[in-house]
Structure 1
Amino acid sequence: MIDLPLSVLEVSMVEDGRPTTEALANCAGIADELESLGYGRIWFAEHHHSPAIGAFPPAVMTAHVAAVTSSIRVGSGGVLAPNHAPVMVAEQFTTLAGLHPDRIDLGIGRGPGTFHEGTARGLRRGAGPVTDDEYRGDVAAVLGLVAELQFGALPEPWLLASSDAGAELAAALGLPIAFAHHIRPDNTVRALERYRAAFRPSRWAEEPRVLVCVQVVCGETEERVAAMARPMDVVKLGLLKGHSEEAFPSPEAAAARQFTTEEEDLLAGFRAHQAEGTPDHVGRRFAQLADATGADELMMVTPVYDLGNRIRSFELVSELKGDGTGT
């Protein structure tokens, strides 16, 4: 059984051979299913100019999904501060919080959200990568404006992190932290130790609060899981080797891809830190992650081809909770 609240990060994979509009429509469908299954929250990630992930702005998706659901928390995971004026982020999410009280999350992150250099520079109006001081200033400015505006209610702020520096910033600002274990699993435990050691209470959180995001693919058999996970393996391999993204392939196309022994070992090393397998295996991995990280909540990213497959994975995981998956 799983004792922690569970939630979902939706990265809106654009499946090869299917229109982008289908990925867009799936976002609301997934949220509706998650709400019925008792999940606590769904977040939308910010990406740009990606062949595999839809460029669906988190604020827009949050507004849409919050309007067609009734209880699940909805928000950004995250909105990337360097790409936006702080006042716009604050206005968007305080407005959403006013429209949907006690349901809106504002997860803030740092990366550009793209591997395309021209797009990254365009988002920054020609400026180079953000510095540590600029990022800290942007996050502080967003928080200050959110506190001032208060359009009837406040969004719940989180800082997304995948490094020691991000963890230390979350601690200094007194923010709950959402750690990207699905991106930097080798750094999770150390960074969270630094976060807890340096945490300063604030109006946003009186004590450290930790959400850990993990890649999850759950199926009835190991063979089924391997087939469902294979398309993301193709995309992930490029990322692990430092290449740019490629289109999210169909299961048939992914099955036809041949990996070298070295590539298989690289993928196996990544999967060892995630939670891919039958329900029993996923349950054990969740327990291990919770024990190692002290997480207060686990968030799943489930990048598999076909909406029905993703929903079935969420259903199987929800059955591991004896008292519901909500917060």
Structure 2
Amino acid sequence: MISVPFSALEVAMVQTGARAVDTLKDTAEFARRLEDLGYRRLWYAEHHHSPAVGAFPPVVLTAHAAASTSSIRLGSGGVLAPNHAPIMLAEQFGTLAGLHPGRIDLGIGRGPGTFDEATALALRRGAGPTTDDEYGGDVAATLRFLVDEIDLGTLPEPWLPASSTAGAALAAEVGLPIAFAHHIRPDNTRAALHHYREHFAPSRWCPRPRVLVCVETVCAETEREAARLTGPMDVIKAGLLVGRGDRPFPTPEAAAAHTFTAEETKALAAFHAHQAYGSPETVAQRLADVVTVTGADELMLVTPVYALADRLRSYELVKDHVMLPAAA
């Protein structure tokens, strides 16, 4: 059993043949069930113009889930700074923190949230990709607005989501807890977290280095069932390897019939080696290895499987077989 707290990242996969609104309706049930299971926090990621991922603004889902739950922490993992004015982020999440004291997190990320260039340009009002300095300025401005103009008696807890050493360096510089995207760039995890801990500067937000590591996790009763559930996301990842972010999220049956190239198979196997898929025993060992290697203070699981029932079952199995009861 693993003693660190467990949390979840929701990416709201849109099932083939379903409407995005159906996925949206599932989010409240998902939040309530995770709260019942004892997960510490639930975050929502910002995405745009993807047939596989619902483009539901994190602030809206955070508000919706907060109204449907009573104790689980909720927030963005992350909301993407280049797409928003800093004062608006501060106002939105500051207001949520006032309405739901002690329960709101504000993860301020960097990426565009889309693979479509036209969508990225529209989000940024024609501006190109943000620079390191611009991103750092947006993070600093958002934190400043929270303190100077938005404080409603309680503040959201700010986090810096990162997938690179550059992001880890910014988290260390401004003194924020880091949420590292091991589920995106596992090859960067060790070096980035080492830099973060070595260069961390204490702040009003965080007195010492604090590390959350996000791991792609699919847990099922058997290895075979976990592999079946993992298949649809493997198809999406294979598309990303060749620059295709426009694939819909397939059914497990369609994914099982998909033919991967030798290059895709090799890349997926290398990625899988750093994540946690399989039976409860396998997942427990994989997650324990991640904690040992990274020194994570908290694990966040992302489980991009096709059906809500299967996704919830994965979190239930982790709760029953991996989470130490005292951490719930």
Unpaired runs of at least 5, structure 1: none
Under a length normalisation based on structure 1, what TM-score does the superposition of the two structures give?
A: 0.98
Tell me how far apart the structure 2 counterparts of residues 4 and 258 of structure 1 sit (CA, whole Å): 38
Q: Calculate percent identity across the aligned residue pairs.
A: 63
State the partner residue of 2:80. Answer: 80
Aligned partner letter, 2:96: L
3-state DSSP class of the match of 1:225? helix
Tell me how far apart the structure 2 counterparts of residues 292 and 243 of structure 1 sit (CA, whole Å): 32
Q: After the TM superposition, which of the residue ranges 20-29 and 295-304 deviates more from structure 2?
A: 20-29
The answer (yes or no) to whether the contact 1:318–1:324 under 8 Å persists in 2 is no
3-state DSSP class of the match of 1:71? coil
How far residue 42 of structure 1 moved from its aligned partner, in angstroms, is 0.2
Tell me how far apart the structure 1 counterparts of residues 38 and 69 of structure 2 sit (CA, whole Å): 12
State the partner residue of 1:98. Answer: 98
The equivalences for 1:1-327 within 5 A come to: 1-148=1-148, 149-319=150-320, 320-326=322-328
3-state DSSP class of the match of 1:215? strand
The answer (yes or no) to whether the contact 2:241–2:264 under 8 Å persists in 1 is no
Tell me how far apart the structure 1 counterparts of residues 133 and 324 of structure 2 sit (CA, whole Å): 45
In structure 2, relative to structure 1, the CA distance for the partners of 1:262 and 1:38 (3 Å cut) is same
The CA RMSD measured in Å over matched residues stands at 0.9
How far residue 286 of structure 1 moved from its aligned partner, in angstroms, is 1.0
How far residue 325 of structure 1 moved from its aligned partner, in angstroms, is 4.4
The answer (yes or no) to whether the contact 2:6–2:323 under 8 Å persists in 1 is no
3-state DSSP class of the match of 1:304? coil
In structure 2, relative to structure 1, the CA distance for the partners of 1:29 and 1:177 (3 Å cut) is same
Provide runs of 4+ in structure 1 moved above 6 Å. Answer: none
Tell me how far apart the structure 2 counterparts of residues 128 and 264 of structure 1 sit (CA, whole Å): 34
How far residue 152 of structure 1 moved from its aligned partner, in angstroms, is 2.2
3-state DSSP class of the match of 1:280? helix
Deviations 1:103-158 (A, max 9, x none): 00000100000001011001110011111111110000000111122112100000
3-state DSSP class of the match of 1:211? strand
Q: After the TM superposition, which of the residue ranges 250-259 and 215-224 deviates more from structure 2?
A: 250-259
Q: After the TM superposition, which of the residue ranges 184-193 and 145-154 deviates more from structure 2?
A: 145-154
How far residue 256 of structure 1 moved from its aligned partner, in angstroms, is 1.2
Tell me how far apart the structure 1 counterparts of residues 2 and 318 of structure 2 sit (CA, whole Å): 9
Tell me how far apart the structure 2 counterparts of residues 266 and 127 of structure 1 sit (CA, whole Å): 33
The answer (yes or no) to whether the contact 1:167–1:195 under 8 Å persists in 2 is yes
Aligned partner letter, 2:311: R
Tell me how far apart the structure 2 counterparts of residues 236 and 127 of structure 1 sit (CA, whole Å): 28
3-state DSSP class of the match of 1:158? strand
Tell me how far apart the structure 1 counterparts of residues 222 and 269 of structure 2 sit (CA, whole Å): 18
How far residue 258 of structure 1 moved from its aligned partner, in angstroms, is 1.3
Aligned partner letter, 1:227: R
Aligned partner letter, 1:118: A
Unpaired runs of at least 5, structure 2: none
The answer (yes or no) to whether the contact 1:318–1:325 under 8 Å persists in 2 is no
Tell me how far apart the structure 2 counterparts of residues 156 and 306 of structure 1 sit (CA, whole Å): 31
Aligned partner letter, 1:33: R
Q: After the TM superposition, which of the residue ranges 126-135 and 243-252 deviates more from structure 2?
A: 243-252
The answer (yes or no) to whether the contact 1:43–1:77 under 8 Å persists in 2 is yes
Tell me how far apart the structure 2 counterparts of residues 282 and 325 of structure 1 sit (CA, whole Å): 17
The answer (yes or no) to whether the contact 1:63–1:96 under 8 Å persists in 2 is yes
3-state DSSP class of the match of 1:239? helix
3-state DSSP class of the match of 2:53? coil
Deviations 1:171-225 (A, max 9, x none): 0000000000000000001000000000000000000000000100000111100
Deviations 1:240-284 (A, max 9, x none): 333323100011111111123332221111100100111111111
